[in-house]
C-alpha cells in the first residue's frame, strides 16, 4: 500500500510579490505563481506520482494551485475537497500591510516574534499554535484516514497551515519550526508507515526546463 501524502504550498501570489501580509485575504497568483504550480505538476507527473483525491483551502491562490497541478498531471477529474481548516494563518491587524512598513511601525523584533514564534499571535490574528489547532484535527479526522486506506492524497495549501502539519509529521520542536520556510510551488512528498508515522520524505525541487 502506497500511503502517499503530498503537500504543496501555493505558487507566488500577488501579495507575496508585493511583500504584504496576506493571511485570509484572497489575492490571486502571479504569472510566476502559475508557472510554479505548473512546474510542480510536471515534476510530480515525471516522478511517476498520481492522486486519487486532493484537499485545498477556501482561498483562491491555493485552489488555483491545486487545479494547475492536477491539470499538468492529467488528473482534472479527481475529487477536490475545500476546507477552511486549511486556510493560511490569519494575520489579523497585519493583513494587507507591507512587511517593511510593519517593522517601521512596531519594530523589527516584534514583527519577527509575531511572524516566527510558535504561540504569540499578531493583534487580532492567529499564532502558529492557533493555526495548528484547526489544521491538525482536520488532518487526523479527514485527510489521514484517506491516506491510510491507500488513497494517494494531494494537499495544496499555505505556508503556515503546512508548517503546522510539517511540524508534527517531521517531529520538529518550536525552535526549529521558527526557522522553517516552505517554498512556493515545491511539493513535499511523504510516504507513511502503517502506524501513520513517516516512512520517507522527499522535496521535489523545481526543474525550470522540464516540460518546455
What is the rounded CA–CA span in Å between residue 21 and residue 7? 22
The residues that are catalytic are 10, 88
The C-alpha cell at 138 is 482536520
What is the rounded CA–CA span in Å between residue 212 and residue 203? 21
DSSP sequence for 20-38: B--TT----B-HHHHHHHH
What is the rounded CA–CA span in Å between residue 7 and residue 137? 17
Burial of 101 (0-12, 13-18, 19+ CB in 10 A): middle
Contact between 211 and 42 under an 8 Å Cβ cutoff? The reply is yes
* C-alpha torsion sign, points 146, 147, 150, 155: positive
126: left (phi over 0), alpha (psi -120 to 50) or beta: beta
Amino acid at each position: 500500500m502506497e500511503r502517499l501524502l503530498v503537500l504543496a504550498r501555493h505558487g507566488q501570489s500577488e501579495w507575496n510579490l508585493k511583500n504584504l501580509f496576506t493571511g485570509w485575504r484572497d489575492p490571486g497568483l502571479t504569472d510566476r505563481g502559475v508557472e510554479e504550480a505548473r512546474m510542480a505538476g510536471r515534476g510530480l507527473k515525471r516522478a511517476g506520482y498520481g492522486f486519487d483525491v486532493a484537499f485545498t483551502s477556501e482561498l483562491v491562490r491555493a485552489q488555483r494551485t491545486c487545479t494547475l497541478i492536477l491539470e499538468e498531471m492529467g488528473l482534472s477529474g479527481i475529487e477536490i475537497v475545500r476546507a477552511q481548516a486549511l486556510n493560511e494563518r490569519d494575520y489579523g491587524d497585519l493583513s494587507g500591510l507591507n512587511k517593511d512598513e510593519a517593522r517601521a511601525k512596531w519594530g523589527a523584533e516584534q514583527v519577527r516574534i509575531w511572524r516566527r514564534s510558535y504561540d504569540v499571535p499578531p493583534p487580532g490574528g492567529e499564532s502558529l499554535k492557533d493555526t495548528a489547532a484547526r489544521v491538525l484535527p482536520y488532518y487526523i479526522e479527514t485527510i489521514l484516514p484517506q491516506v491510510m486506506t491507500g488513497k494517494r492524497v494531494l494537499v495544496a495549501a499555505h505556508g503556515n497551515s503546512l508548517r503546522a502539519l510539517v511540524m508534527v509529521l517531521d517531529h520538529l520542536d518550536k525552535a526549529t519550526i521558527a526557522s522553517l520556510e516552505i517554498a512556493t510551488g515545491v511539493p513535499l512528498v511523504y510516504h507513511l508507515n502503517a502506524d501513520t508515522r513517516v516512512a520517507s520524505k522527499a522535496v521535489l525541487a523545481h526543474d525550470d526546463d522540464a516540460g518546455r
